[in-house]
Structure 1
Amino acid sequence: MQSEQTQIHTQPARRKLPGWLLAFGIALLAAGIMFLPFIIYEKGNFFFFGDFNVQQIPFYRMAHDAVRSGEVLWNSYTDLGANFIASYSFYLLFSPFFWLTLPFPSEMVPYLMAPLLMLKTASMALTSYFYIRRFVRTDEYAIIGSLCYAFSGFATYNIFFNHFHEAMVFFPLLLIGVEELVQNRRRGVFALAVAVNCIVNYWFFIGEVVFVVLYVFLRMTDRSWGMTVKRFCAVALESVLGLCLAMVVLLPSVLAIMGNPRTTSDNLLYGWNFWIYSTVQRIPQILQTLFFPPELPSRPNFFPDGGAKWSSLSAWLPLFGVSGTAAFLLAARRSWLKKLLFTCLFMALVPGLNSAFILFNNSYYARWFYMPVLLMCLATATALERRDIDYVRGVRWYAGGVLLFMVACGLTPSKTSEGEWKLGLMEEPIRFWLVCLIAVCCVALTLWIVRQLRRNPAFVRTAIALTAAVGCLHGMFFIGSGRLYGTSGSFLRERALAGYDSIAFPGEDEDEFFRLDLYNTLDNLGMYWHVPNIQAFHSIVPNSIMEFYPYVGVKRDVSSKPEVNNYALRPLLSVKYLAVSQSEKDAENLMPGYTFSFSQFGYDFYENENYLPMGFGYTTGVRQSVLDTAPLSLRANVMLEAVGLSEEAMERNADILTELESIDYASLNASGMEEAVEERRQYTCDTFAFDKTGFTATCDLDEDVLMFFSVPYDSGWSATVNGEPVVIEKASVGFMAVRVPAGEAEIRFEYMTPGLIPGAFVSAGGLVLLGVYLLVMRRQDRRAAAADPVPASFRSLREHREESIQSAQTVLTPESPAPALEQPEPETPDGKEEQDHETE
């Protein structure tokens, strides 16, 4: 083996392009070919299905316009209103790919979705290349591994959630940073990698922290890595410094999700659910994803009752599948990589350990799989490169797994829900057998190139080309399958995208604020149209929204969709129009008090006769304890008659409010709602408008009132009335109200993102500390250099790089190889020719 390495290192480099550029370019070209047919078909756009259509596209455009206009604190187009930074830091706000859209005009943003996906795919290949290249001897095998990562089943699956790709792009930098710090003593790289990953997506960063801890402790089992107590302390210190650098984003994000029902202790795994999956299909479903391409997120087919919809469950590698990983694991005896891969598999099969990557939440997600997938790509590249590894054994395991699941899922007799016999356990036989065909072709191609070409000079080029081709063609199949279930492109182009800021509401003051209601249509259509509305599909909104909706009988998990039977909710939330598709029948009778107004973009718009403008006053209040006694479906009716307040708030405002001590249920009907609306109209604001830092309202009233605004309550708000600070009351469970005196009044609400300023100070402090740390370490290096005539820091880059590769190769070599693995390959002329080609 040593003679081979010496021979490779002394070969003159004849390739013009560096390996990292080839990895990036090949991935970009393959991704471009993958997306191009769909771009052409959709006339420049790229549409998929599900969350991609209803979240990624409207989020990108809305956020793009918000940032360009400077409205980055509060966003009135997200549900009933939201903390913009905290709500979008998870989705896109701090992604460099999103910021690439800012130079373009708003109407161009939807056309940029596919180019950005291509760029993300190429960037995945780039960063993973740099990591894998540390452990293989030639660029070509690092390119193969990087293409496996960029076109992995996890990456393809998560086109559906394209903001997950950012985590895949930047995660390899964490591992590179650790390696550089421990092995090469390059300081600061890991701290910056920690900061970047945390800033880009704080939620994925939680799982990455867990993984990096595992990585460090299992990597330490290899003594040649060079971990010492001093370097371990450096890793810990740089972790803290990186976290401090990211605090300007992390602190506001964490404060915003604290109290969110999806993050509370009620959603933690416990009991037997910590150790055993509740569905018997889950474990075989996890194993199946190693052998077969990913299934559509909303339509699992092999195991339809596995309970893993939208979970990002996929660990398949294009072309090679699990063969390279199996071949490496069978050959390596005590490698740190083997230990880490088996640890990841064990954690994936135990619910509680799997959930460690999402703070032990009881929802099933496999959204951390991209981390072991990167290691599988490394194992595959290593197994292909090393001739002392019997790769065919890995192919046999690959073929055996494919055959097992094909027989079990495809040929087992079962019964339909109607009691009829059928062959197979899958939901959709055609799609099942097409996926099986892809897997079988991959097994055959892998076996062919390993057996027929592995000692041929054309092997690496063929492997690279086939990996890119399989990734590209499978991507086309996957996207095409998803489009079968997605909203039609013509609807998205001609109704959704075309309506952005284009709906002409007749006779309206352009400065008037009101909300739109949409019935039984595309999720987030109101955001597509850039109109404030009450129908929203968004996971991260103010906790007050999550508290209010269930209180009035509306389910609120990942979306807000009030049913039409809760008609009193609409005046409370200042809904002026109801949009109903022209294909709907009997639309005028959906809710009482709506009359037809106009038609546009294929929708009929009905005006709410009981509309209340934003900002209306109360002279009657009801204590929360009394409001709690009303049925859920009637609480909005009560809230129209009297503002709901806590005991303390009721006492503070007892001088201007008449207390509603009991509820008259006879008045809680449509006519009662109309009477309550008429009363509220006596105390409405004359003007109301949002701006970059909050909103302003004016009024001229005959008596003191508690002025109510259906803007979600948030700790970042402060208020003044006629320039004097006032107390903001949490009103009607989730909103805000302030005392307003009789006469002319100007009401001003200012918003500042909670945690943003303290987080900025911590980040600034972290930057100073990082600079001090680097200066101190530099001085120590200089002192060490004075005692070393040829210190490592002054060696040539080539010598240093060769030493690093030699160390990495030693790390992956089994400590106790089988006799066959100990024998170096004979240096035949053919072998020399092959090595020369690989160097090229």
Structure 2
Amino acid sequence: MNSLLGQPQKSKHWLTFWVALATAAAFFLPFVIYNRGLFVYIGDFNCQQIPFYKLAHEAVRSGDIFWNWYTDLGANFIGSYSFYLLFSPFFWLTLLFPTAAVPYLMAPLLVLKTACAALTSYFYIQRFVRDKNYAVIGALLYAFSGFTAYNIFFNHFHEVIVFFPLMLIGLEELLVNDRKGAFAVTVAINAMVNYWFFVGEVVFVILYYFVRCTGLKGGFKKILWVAFEGLLGVLISAFALLPSALAVMGNPRTTFPENLLSGWQFWLYTHEQRQPGIVASFFFPPDTPSRPNMFPDHGAKWASLSAWLPLFSMSGVLAYLISVRKNWLRKLLIACFVVAMVPGLNSLFVGLNHSYYTRWFYMLILLMALATAATLENERIDFARGFRWTAVITAAIAIPIGFTPVIKDGEIEQIGLAKDMRIFWVYVALAVIALALCYLLMFFARRTARFQRIALVMLCCFTFGYTTLYLAMSKQTLERDNYIIDNGVHGRANLTMPVDPDDEFYRTDIYDSGENFGMYWHLPNIQAFHSVVPVSIMEFYPEVGVKRDVSSRPQPEYFALRSLFSVRYLFIDRSKEEQDPMPGYHLVDQQLDFNIYENENYLPMGFAFDAYLTREEFDEIPTDLRHKVLMRALVLDEERAATYGPMLEHLEIGDTNLPEAYTDFLDDVDARRSMACSDFTRDNLGFTATCNFDQPRLVFFSVPYEAGWSATVNGEEAQVEKVDIGFMAVRVPAGACEIRFDYMTPGLLPGLAVSGGAILVLLAYWLFFRSRSAKRRGRPADPPRTYELFDPDQLFPAEDEPADGFSLDHPLSDDGEEPEPEELYPPAGELPDPSEVRWEAEDFTGAPGPVIPPEDGEDETGKDQPKK
């Protein structure tokens, strides 16, 4: 097929990259200008993605990579940020810039990620099409799908969209070309980039392997090689995987069997809107993650429920499913659709967790983009039937939602089932416009030589329009944007604390505003919106009546926790009516949009107790009083109570000695202050404190207990004790003492050792098969493999007459008649004449690969020569 995009057989990967880069830059640019050089969005993007990047950037550049004091009450830095960004190459690019520049890099990084996603998916899709221009279109569909637009909200999800196609490429190389090592490397890359998504990718690759091998000769015999290289890839990534796995073990969101789906919930969705919502996600643009509109009660907020392909929607996919039979891609698509509709099967991609997520849809979308590209290329596939079914299903969803009346109290409240009918009709309009443009594309351009160029331009223009509109409808108000920019992004440069936290350690509290502003300001803060924190924090908060799921937000009534955690300053937005939420605070300053209050009951880090009570006794205390009791006595388990009981007074719990009155709390604060450490300093490896007591004491530190901590007292090893359910204490003798705590990320050193050994195994494995390939160089080369998705005989018979406006005639047919099948696609086993094939330089295994013959006017090196 003639093409104005270039010769069909030449690679179009750079074209794909630059087109995707330009399109993504085009729809981000207006918002960057709107926000004065920044891209500020909504929800998690503003309060997690930007501050996490800033925090991690500064930590890595300063070498503070073990224990992070600015995440909740303190956290394992590697374990907490490996899920979000730590092993992403895009994050490491930011290290070339100063920390102040990081917020300005968020939009450019998203643009770059989108272009890279198009690039990697192109290399996968181009394996299965003859004309590489269709691989360009398929790659852009993958890179600009509704899933990608939806997950701008979760910036770090884009990494997995970028790198996942590489794993399928590695698998294809192993299965089809017998190329050793590539699959192991791509498995390692994906495992390092995001361990949580990697679980779902393993499930998908297993499914892909068994379906794919039905179309490959001897495919099942390679299962041992696939398993070996998969395991090797996991071992190579152990330095990232092991610390990450240890950090989330015991987290209430990952424990078994409490989080497993069971009973009927394994087979049936309990939300009546869930299944139609899943179907609609393939035919309509995505909802805003935090504001589901079309199916507002489907219980899938933040689930990444979107699989829409811009411009073509499901037309190409349905056409492929209708027209092609006995084909691995068709079987795999059907299997994925079934998995999406069955709760238990869908949960396989999130480790059988009961929380509903479709964050594996990017894998399905890659297959859908491939099917669409193959459908566009092969005009014997009846695109018209796929288009008609897409239009019918789109209408079947839109009409009931759009026109069903909602009656409340005997009166019609509204016409339509969506939460906001105006937004609903905008989304319907986008879906209809996409179908209309698709129809015009196929009607007017399919028979022309410029079809591919027109399709590419229309796809990019529509992508720009729908994504720009989606972002504009999702964004918050300019007033809220400016609040985030002025107080958050620029807050640190404009905030001067009464006491420098680098001179004297303390924590801060932000009342009911400014999510994760402490991270923006580089101040230790007890309010934290972060899902991956030490398990001990997760254990502690519920025991004192504070909910802890994805964030730590101790309510003002738990004011004693502020003293326990060494909170010195409280920030309250000046617009808040409530300016006195807790007792014991006085106004000391006004900065940014906040009033700053100082805690009169502040305690420095590190103080001792003279009393204890057991965990069982603590559980008997009313929940609303437990935070006060923690200021009076240490909570010890039975073993530690037996060990340290003789040096502490046993606090008998009764009606007469519970600290109910505020004056009781003040007395306990004074007692703790009299037994506080005289000095506390932090560094990149831990902290040091000094104290001087007249008798042996247990010194408490409000630092979450973790296995990575070790301690010495006056240079001698000391036992780190777990007290108060989730914190640390150490025994010190009488007299002047220097207490030293050091932290090493659990699993990091063993993981590095395993990774190093696995890399050596990979090198030996690669060198062995390279040497074997070298010995075969004198033998006749193996014929190039075919990547045909299907044989012409696998097509179902097309309808007698194509739909009005559609033609199945081949554009190169001089007489308008359809050529014979062999003219379009030779049988899968038919190979080109070896004399007409030029071979590439050896790949890393020594196995050659096919390259197209030189064009007229080129020599064997591709250089121009004078034409005869």
Same structural fold, with TM-score higher than 0.5 when normalized by the shorter chain: yes
The answer (yes or no) to whether the contact 2:329–2:367 under 8 Å persists in 1 is yes
1:712 maps to 704
* Within-5 A mapping of 1:443-482: 443-482=435-474
Equivalent residue in structure 2 for 1:545, among 516, 531, 537: 537
2:804 maps to none
What amino acid does structure 1 have at the position aligned with 2:179?
R
What amino acid does structure 2 have at the position aligned with 1:716?
G
Q: Does 1:421 align with 2:413?
A: yes
The answer (yes or no) to whether the contact 2:382–2:798 under 8 Å persists in 1 is no
Equivalent residue in structure 2 for 1:651, among 624, 642, 649: 642
Residue 503 of structure 1: CA displacement? 2.6
Residue 645 of structure 1: CA displacement? 0.8
Residue 249 of structure 1: CA displacement? 0.6
For residues 510-547 of structure 1, the C-alpha deviation after alignment (integer angstroms, 9 at most, x for no partner) is: 42111111111021111111110110000000000000
1:790 maps to 780
Q: Does 1:402 align with 2:402?
A: no
For residues 17-48 of structure 1, the C-alpha deviation after alignment (integer angstroms, 9 at most, x for no partner) is: 84000000000000000000000011100011
Distance 1:720 1:12, change over 3 A: closer
1:393 maps to 385
The answer (yes or no) to whether the contact 2:54–2:102 under 8 Å persists in 1 is yes
SS of the residue corresponding to residue 101 of structure 1 reads helix
Distance in 1 between residues matched to 2:149 and 2:697, nearest whole Å = 56
Q: Does 1:54 align with 2:52?
A: no
1:796 maps to none
Residue 131 of structure 1: CA displacement? 0.3
What amino acid does structure 2 have at the position aligned with 1:347?
V
The answer (yes or no) to whether the contact 2:261–2:344 under 8 Å persists in 1 is yes
2:284 maps to 292
1:596 maps to 587
SS of the residue corresponding to residue 555 of structure 1 reads coil
Q: Does 1:215 align with 2:211?
A: no
Distance in 1 between residues matched to 2:796 and 2:44, nearest whole Å = 48
Q: Does 1:808 align with 2:787?
A: yes
Equivalent residue in structure 2 for 1:158, among 151, 168, 177: 151
Distance 1:243 1:640, change over 3 A: same
Residue 504 of structure 1: CA displacement? 1.9
The answer (yes or no) to whether the contact 2:323–2:795 under 8 Å persists in 1 is no
The answer (yes or no) to whether the contact 1:457–1:833 under 8 Å persists in 2 is no
Distance in 2 between residues matched to 1:90 and 1:239, nearest whole Å = 21
The answer (yes or no) to whether the contact 2:516–2:529 under 8 Å persists in 1 is yes
2:336 maps to 344
Q: Does 1:612 align with 2:587?
A: no
Distance in 1 between residues matched to 2:180 and 2:407, nearest whole Å = 62
SS of the residue corresponding to residue 180 of structure 1 reads helix
Distance 1:457 1:289, change over 3 A: same
Distance in 2 between residues matched to 1:826 and 1:72, nearest whole Å = 60
Residue 775 of structure 1: CA displacement? 2.1
1:797 maps to none
Residue 562 of structure 1: CA displacement? 0.5
Residue 584 of structure 1: CA displacement? 1.4
The answer (yes or no) to whether the contact 1:414–1:422 under 8 Å persists in 2 is yes
Residue 416 of structure 1: CA displacement? 4.8
What amino acid does structure 1 have at the position aligned with 2:405?
P
1:272 maps to 264
For residues 97-156 of structure 1, the C-alpha deviation after alignment (integer angstroms, 9 at most, x for no partner) is: 000100101110000000000000000100000000000111210010011011000000
The answer (yes or no) to whether the contact 1:549–1:556 under 8 Å persists in 2 is yes
The answer (yes or no) to whether the contact 2:569–2:597 under 8 Å persists in 1 is yes
Distance in 2 between residues matched to 1:148 and 1:827, nearest whole Å = 26
Distance in 2 between residues matched to 1:510 and 1:76, nearest whole Å = 12
Distance in 2 between residues matched to 1:521 and 1:465, nearest whole Å = 44
The answer (yes or no) to whether the contact 2:10–2:132 under 8 Å persists in 1 is no
What amino acid does structure 1 have at the position aligned with 2:301?
K
The answer (yes or no) to whether the contact 1:129–1:145 under 8 Å persists in 2 is yes
Residue 477 of structure 1: CA displacement? 1.0
For residues 37-66 of structure 1, the C-alpha deviation after alignment (integer angstroms, 9 at most, x for no partner) is: 000011100011010010000000010000
Distance in 1 between residues matched to 2:811 and 2:569, nearest whole Å = 80
Distance in 2 between residues matched to 1:341 and 1:657, nearest whole Å = 66
What amino acid does structure 1 have at the position aligned with 2:328?
W
1:692 maps to 684
* Within-5 A mapping of 1:134-153: 134-153=127-146
The answer (yes or no) to whether the contact 1:135–1:812 under 8 Å persists in 2 is no
Distance in 2 between residues matched to 1:419 and 1:675, nearest whole Å = 61
2:572 maps to 580
1:530 maps to 522
Q: Does 1:641 align with 2:620?
A: no
What amino acid does structure 2 have at the position aligned with 1:623?
T
SS of the residue corresponding to residue 690 of structure 1 reads strand
Equivalent residue in structure 1 for 2:666, among 647, 665, 674: 674
Bigger proportion of residues as helix? 1
* Within-5 A mapping of 1:189-228: 189-223=182-216, 227-228=219-220
Equivalent residue in structure 2 for 1:568, among 554, 560, 565: 560
What amino acid does structure 1 have at the position aligned with 2:252?
P
SS of the residue corresponding to residue 263 of structure 1 reads coil
For residues 480-501 of structure 1, the C-alpha deviation after alignment (integer angstroms, 9 at most, x for no partner) is: 1111368722111211112226
Residue 628 of structure 1: CA displacement? 1.0
For residues 561-597 of structure 1, the C-alpha deviation after alignment (integer angstroms, 9 at most, x for no partner) is: 010011111101111111100111241x311111111
Equivalent residue in structure 1 for 2:273, among 271, 281, 293: 281
Q: Does 1:828 align with 2:813?
A: yes
Equivalent residue in structure 2 for 1:761, among 730, 736, 753: 753
Residue 624 of structure 1: CA displacement? 1.1
SS of the residue corresponding to residue 500 of structure 1 reads helix
Distance in 2 between residues matched to 1:416 and 1:90, nearest whole Å = 45
The answer (yes or no) to whether the contact 1:222–1:811 under 8 Å persists in 2 is no
1:180 maps to 173
Residue 824 of structure 1: CA displacement? 9.6
Is the deviation greater in 650-659 or in 139-148?
650-659
Distance in 1 between residues matched to 2:5 and 2:565, nearest whole Å = 72
The answer (yes or no) to whether the contact 2:515–2:528 under 8 Å persists in 1 is yes
Pick 1 or 2: higher relative contact order, CA cutoff 8 A, min separation 6. Answer: 1
Consecutive unaligned residues of structure 1, counting only runs of 5 or more, are: 793-799
TM-score normalized with structure 1 length: 0.94
What amino acid does structure 2 have at the position aligned with 1:653?
Y
* Within-5 A mapping of 1:256-405: 256-264=247-255, 265-405=257-397
Consecutive unaligned residues of structure 2, counting only runs of 5 or more, are: 801-807, 825-851, 856-868
Task: State percent identity of aligned pairs.
Answer: 49
Distance in 2 between residues matched to 1:486 and 1:311, nearest whole Å = 27
What amino acid does structure 2 have at the position aligned with 1:618?
F
Equivalent residue in structure 1 for 2:503, among 490, 499, 511: 511
What amino acid does structure 2 have at the position aligned with 1:233?
L
What amino acid does structure 1 have at the position aligned with 2:61?
R
What amino acid does structure 2 have at the position aligned with 1:549?
Y
Residue 71 of structure 1: CA displacement? 0.4
* Within-5 A mapping of 1:14-163: 18-163=11-156
Is the deviation greater in 206-215 or in 657-666?
657-666
What amino acid does structure 1 have at the position aligned with 2:504?
E
Distance 1:466 1:509, change over 3 A: closer
The CA RMSD over aligned residues, in Å, is 2.4
Residue 174 of structure 1: CA displacement? 0.7
The answer (yes or no) to whether the contact 2:447–2:811 under 8 Å persists in 1 is no
Residue 657 of structure 1: CA displacement? 1.1
Q: Does 1:439 align with 2:413?
A: no
The answer (yes or no) to whether the contact 1:383–1:391 under 8 Å persists in 2 is yes
For residues 604-631 of structure 1, the C-alpha deviation after alignment (integer angstroms, 9 at most, x for no partner) is: 0111111111111112111111111112
The answer (yes or no) to whether the contact 2:5–2:453 under 8 Å persists in 1 is no
Is the deviation greater in 465-474 or in 301-310?
465-474
Distance in 2 between residues matched to 1:715 and 1:812, nearest whole Å = 58
